[in-house]
Amino acid sequence: MSTHDEPTEFWTDEPSDREEEDYGDDDDQIDFADPGGRSALRAETDQNPRNLPCPNCKRPNMLTPADRRAAYQCDICADTAEGRRLICPRCEKREALEQYSFGCYAGKLCDPCAFAGFVDHCGQRPKGQGTQAEIDEPIEAEYDDWD
């Protein structure tokens, strides 16, 4: 008999109940839009496009069909419901959203501040985001200043 009170373990090649459960192939995994983040929304794919409005705020293109089947709301509404709403740092009045100008991240601002603060109005104009041609305007040098 052993003098130790610890149980003796025997190593085998057989799987045990204590081993991590096998969840199958990666195809069986749920693909989140922001893995490891706070969002429960599903990733956008060709078979699961982000083309549905949020049932609460009615913003277009916020949910995928998988999100709707799960009865989810958009991240903005979820954050607001959970008390994590971000207020615009410029006006300190309205909800701030991620904004992009000429396809580049412009910060988290409310729509009116983003519209007023950027040449392409962060894509809120009828033409959408600015183009490379608009941002690459030719510079006219003042040759008289070089003398």
Q: Are residues 77 and 101 in the same domain?
A: no
Rounded Cα gap, residues 79 and 96, in angstroms: 12
Q: Are residues 90 and 66 in the same domain?
A: no
Q: What is the pLDDT of residues 20-38, one digit of tens each?
A: 444 444 444 578 888 888 8
Number of domains making up the chain: 2
Q: Are residues 99 and 76 in the same domain?
A: no
**Pair 59, 76: CB distance under 8 Å:** yes
Q: Is 114 inside a domain boundary?
A: yes
Q: Are residues 55 and 76 in the same domain?
A: yes
Q: What's the mean pLDDT in 105-133? A: 84
Torsion of CA 120, 99, 78, 81, to 10 degrees: -90
Please give the radius of gyration of the chain, using alpha carbons only, rounded to the nearest integer. Answer: 26
Rounded Cα gap, residues 90 and 79, in angstroms: 20
Q: Residue 107 belongs to what domain range?
A: 86-134
Q: Is 16 inside a domain boundary?
A: no
pLDDT at 13 over 70: no
